[in-house]
Structure 1
Amino acid sequence: MTGFNFENYEGDDYNYSYSTDLPLILPDSAPCRPESLDINKYAVVVIYALVFLLSLLGNSLVMLVILYSRVGRSVTDVYLLNLAMADLLFALTLPIWATSKAKGWIFGTPLCKVVSLLKEVNFYSGILLLACISMDRYLAIVHATRTLTQKRHWVKFICIGIWALSLVLALPIFIFRRAIHPPYSSPVCYEDMGANTTKWRMVMRVLPQTFGFLLPLLVMLFCYGLTLRTLFAAHMGQKHRAMRVIFAVVLVFLLCWLPYNLVLVADTLMRARVIAETCERRNDIGRALDATEILGFLHSCLNPLIYVFIGQKFRHGLLKIMAIHGLISKEYLVKDGRPSFVGSSSGNTSTTL
């Protein structure tokens, strides 16, 4: 068992299932017997494979279009470039997660730490980048602040700060995750925190969820609430259109990741004995974590689809690249607009989508 000591874990730790396929428990070793998610593991593997292919293709094209359009690139475009980069890095780990669903964790501790780190960094950088986009739109539309939103060098430092903060928030997972070989079960990639595992896991959840999810979510709600009020009050039809992509990206992110985080909150409250703990509730939360994690993984391939179906400027930029390289005729190019596919950061103007 490579030095892993099961005696360090409190009894209640064996009764939970976390999206990492916790070891099965003998009926007489715990008061509650965990139940697995009623989804064929090979169906999950197929889903992960499709998400991997779509994310790899889509996010690569998004990065190509934004990097190619240097002249018309806005502040928001830079944030979306980093968002696509985070999704692409995470997508590279999906084949590993898919294999672990089918065969258990067979990749050892180093890869366990790396892929777990990338998963956490993808989530935290995603919501922090969206929070920065909301602040950029708020300053540009509500306060018509040109200076802050148009200085590109500030955006670079902000993005570096976001990546650094995401790494810090994900660091506990990187430190404590390792390959574990429990008896009577397949290997798993799971936290090994020694004594007081339950207490430390509570800390690992509450702090990152507060600073990496709840606070950015409140910032987005505040900024977009005031931004929408300003747009509707001023009857700015053009800016309404220019905000469609951003609102769609935020909405899809919340639909994919909010359920998983709400289930984590429920599980944390149960562990803290704030809500009653029963065998049925334990198993329901375990199944919910498995199901909502699949939804969260699906997010990594959805943003490029939003740009294709809603973002006219993204389609224009992609067609322009294809036309330059002779892949399509120039007649197919969209004649209006420039390569920036989200909108200007100007306080008074905003390009249409």
Structure 2
Amino acid sequence: MEDYNYEDGVFSNASSESRQEHQRFLQFRKLFLPCMYLVVFVCGLVGNALVLVIYVFYQKLKSLTDVFLMNLPLADLLFVCTLPFWVHAVLHEWVFGQAMCKLLLGVYTINFYTSMLTLTCITVDRFMAVVQATKAYNQQAKRLARGKVICVLTWVTSLLVSLPQVIYGSVSALDRLVCGYHSVCLLTQTPFNLVKLVHSTSWEYDAMTSAHYAVVVTEAIAYLRVCLNPVLYAFVGLKFRKNFRKLMKDAGCLPYLGVSHQGRCSDDTSKTCSASHNGEATTMVQL
């Protein structure tokens, strides 16, 4: 997660109109990013926490898919907990020190690679379960143990891949203190070559201004995946929804409809009541 500051370089010789447009962009960024970060934080925290609780206390990690799916909310929860720090950094400046800067940059990268690798594992697991269904069923215990090892390797791999972000992440004093990456040839040469390319065209200013807005908006959209993961990979499952209802019932959020409905049945209407109850039960399972 980088703090985009364009005071130097491109805008140093800009006209008064360009500087005003840049100030409007900074105001937009200062309002848009914190709002999006807070939305992702609240939705991601609630959704992924629910998924994690259900997988740990209700589904008990009975299948290899359950093991993989528990990795997603764990990685996403780790990431959403960093968002309040970035909200403060956007609104004010980075005040949390060099070590925290490196840590949070590393957490973002770990979350990204852990999520991608876990989704890859889920895809391979579903493929094997369909193509080699009998073998997968007979070796379920071995596959479950193997899956736990794969999950550990996934986290270790993500940690190793994120080390450059941790090493080169630092706090810089520009117009204010910002936390971002400062690394290798690629990061230093790419912006320069991009600016040279844009300057070779007649749409340089409009293109750069649009690019600034595009970077901010697409960054916020990318973070929405931590809110969508619980919906796409957990709540679509029938077993998960049943366990979610159990959780809500245990928490006192839902009444136990079955017993109270049966208690109202009389002898004369037992058949009608039974049919009605079965219909309600079927409907509840489908939710």
**Alpha-carbon distance, 1:285 to partner:** 3.7
Tell me whether 1:276 sits opposite 2:234 in the alignment. Answer: no
Could you tell me which amino acid in structure 2 is paired with residue 64 of structure 1? Answer: V
Kept in 2: contact 1:69–1:317 (CA 8 A): yes
> Does the C-alpha gap of structure 1 residues 63 and 71 become closer, same or farther in structure 2, counting only changes over 3 Å?
closer
1:183-215: per-residue Cα shift (whole Å, max 9, x none)? xx121112234xxx5x1537xxxxxxxxxxxxx
> Does the C-alpha gap of structure 1 residues 272 and 298 become closer, same or farther in structure 2, counting only changes over 3 Å?
same
The corresponding residue for 2:78 is 89
Choose 1 or 2 for highest CA Rg: 2
2:173 to 159, 170, 181: 181
1:139-159: per-residue Cα shift (whole Å, max 9, x none)? 111233415665211111100
The corresponding residue for 1:293 is 219
Kept in 1: contact 2:168–2:182 (CA 8 A): yes
1:168 to 134, 137, 160: 160
Flag structure 2 segments of 5+ consecutive residues without an equivalent. Answer: 260-279
The corresponding residue for 1:349 is none
Measured in 1, the distance between the counterparts of 2:54 and 2:217 equals 33
**Alpha-carbon distance, 1:171 to partner:** 0.8
Q: Could you state the TM-score of these two structures normalised by the residue count of structure 2?
A: 0.74
RMSD: 3.4
The corresponding residue for 2:3 is 20
3-state SS in 2 of match to 1:39: helix
1:100 to 73, 76, 89: 89
**Alpha-carbon distance, 1:272 to partner:** 6.2
3-state SS in 2 of match to 1:276: helix
Kept in 2: contact 1:20–1:189 (CA 8 A): yes
Taking only the aligned residue pairs, the percentage that are identical comes to 30
**Alpha-carbon distance, 1:288 to partner:** 2.4
The corresponding residue for 2:239 is 313
The corresponding residue for 2:66 is 77
Give 1 or 2: higher helix fraction.
2
1:131 to 117, 120, 142: 120
Measured in 2, the distance between the counterparts of 1:271 and 1:136 equals 44
2:180 to 160, 165, 190: 190
Q: Indicate the structure whose relative CO is greater, using CA pairs within 8 Å and at least 6 residues apart.
A: 1
Q: Could you state the TM-score of these two structures normalised by the residue count of structure 1?
A: 0.61
Flag structure 1 segments of 5+ consecutive residues without an equivalent. Answer: 1-17, 203-266, 340-351
Could you tell me which amino acid in structure 2 is paired with residue 106 of structure 1? Answer: V
> Does the C-alpha gap of structure 1 residues 117 and 71 become closer, same or farther in structure 2, counting only changes over 3 Å?
closer
Could you tell me which amino acid in structure 1 is paired with residue 130 of structure 2? Answer: I
Kept in 1: contact 2:2–2:179 (CA 8 A): no
3-state SS in 1 of match to 2:197: coil
